[in-house]
Structure 1
Amino acid sequence: MKKRKSEKLTTPTHTKTQTAKVAQPGRQAQVDVSTIGGYLIHRLQEIGVRDIFGIPGDFVLQFYGMLEESPIRVVGTTSEACAGYAADGYARINGIGAVCVTYCVGGLSLCNAVAGAYAEKSPVVVISGSPGMEERRTDPLLHHRVRDFSTQREVFEKITVASASLEDGLTAFREIDRCLQACQRYKRPVFLEIPRDRVLTRSVYDHRPADNAPVSDPAALHEAISETRKAISAARKPVIIAGVEIHRFGLREQVL
């Protein structure tokens, strides 16, 4: 596998038609939410991502340029593995973490950290660039490719709770929402791959995120609480082992 090329980060130019402001202390910026890249950044801010870890590479340079212009602080690391572990630790403290790397040589270096985050229920959003859809057809011998162009995504399907390749302006925005909602609901990593020629692709319709918040079943909840109380009352010397979910879902005060 070839190492990623060392290239200077460039700022993309595009026409802003639909924008959203998300304020942070001492810094404001507009994000073009009608593009795939802009919408992803906007949604990351909405769910509480203030910092993102990673290393830029050629397949993700344009998206990195958009990140640099946004209120999200980009934190460079010495390696992708370091970025993955930093995002995991950040998620455990902040409630959500994010990491952004280039295709395969960057993404596959994250696997151990992401697998650990999955095992420990740590909500990390993994973002990777990938070769453009057009160049895959015209230049199948692109660098960083392992076996075929879907290999990286297939690997991450095994160690994340949801994954998607944002290849189409018709479905990409819904896929972003689906994955981010899964990350928040299940407190486990998700994976989003953006072909570099789709970062500025616009939605084919006026997209608004759907409210798919999970709904509690009152009857099932009542039954579970009742059974728990009975089990504790019946025990002579009860020992309660609280799992990591207590911390991940912010339930420490309720438990105590």
Structure 2
Amino acid sequence: MRTTARSHLNQPTNLAFNIRSKHQNYNSLGGHLAQRLVQIGVSDVFSVPGDFNLVLLDDLVAEPQLNLIADGYARSRGVGACVVTFTVGGLSVMNAIAGAYSEDLPVICIVGGPNSNDYGANNSILHHSIGLADFSQELKCFQQITCQQVVVNNLDNAQEQIDGAIAAALDVEKPKPVYISISCNLPGLSHPSFLRNPLPFTLPVRH
């Protein structure tokens, strides 16, 4: 599925990169991430919807036309992004992410993760897991094929985590894929930090 992020430049400054959303909640976590993607030039996000990323996809305009081609998008546009669901989706895109890593391509892999309330000492086995009560199994896999990994399960530092990961992906010296996991209950929630000015992201030059 291809989803389209659209920028409306005639809006006030804090809405300059607003994403069409049925919620119109521009300072939500999902809205913040979508705005950041638009700011770095990502107009299309390639996604396989799942129950853990459906709310996150509310902040994008769905166009069910294409499969996951974020690698090729990064080659042609300078940066690409994909959105998948926890484990069953994440493990499915590892070949493409590994290829992007070897080719120094900045692909932002966004995963709709477990509910933030499910993290802790009493983790239960989820239907998306590999049969272990350990939510870090997918993260451990991506540590080998991404330059930075963040698990967003708290609003207080979500903005810093997301912006830091995007900046790492766009490193001028060596762009690489990054992994961003976002708890499925957070994308629709707001936080004051999501209204901060954009960071000076710079697209790497492809040769």
TM-score by length of 1: 0.65
Aligned pairs (5 A) from 1:69-218:
75-77=65-67, 83=68, 86-136=69-119, 140-146=124-130, 147=132, 148-185=134-171, 186-205=174-193, 207-209=195-197, 211=199
CA–CA separation in structure 1 for the residues paired with 2:15 and 2:25? 7
Asked if residue 60 in structure 1 is aligned to residue 48 in structure 2, the reply is no
Which has the higher mean CA deviation after the structures are superposed, 133-142 or 101-110? 133-142
Deviations 1:162-205 (A, max 9, x none): 11111111111011111111111132101111111111232254
Identity of aligned residues (%): 33
CA–CA separation in structure 2 for the residues paired with 1:136 and 1:123? 29
What is the DSSP-based 3-state SS (H/G/I as helix, E as strand, rest coil) of the residue aligned with 1:63? helix
Structure 1: segments with no counterpart, 5+ residues = 1-17, 78-82, 215-247
CA–CA separation in structure 2 for the residues paired with 1:154 and 1:105? 14
What is the DSSP-based 3-state SS (H/G/I as helix, E as strand, rest coil) of the residue aligned with 1:134? helix
Query: Which residue matches 2:205?
Result: 249
Query: Which residue matches 1:43?
Result: 36
Contact 1:183 1:189 in 2 (8 A): yes
Q: CA deviation at 1:90?
A: 0.9
Deviations 1:211-236 (A, max 9, x none): 4679xxxxxxxxxxxxxxxxxxxxxx
Deviations 1:132-170 (A, max 9, x none): 022456771221113311111221122111111111111
Higher helix share: 1
- Following superposition, which runs of at least 4 residues in structure 1 exceed 6 angstroms of deviation? none
Could you say which structure has the larger radius of gyration? 1
What is the DSSP-based 3-state SS (H/G/I as helix, E as strand, rest coil) of the residue aligned with 1:42? helix
Between 1 and 2, higher relative CO (CA 8 Å, sep ≥ 6) is seen in 2
TM-score by length of 2: 0.79
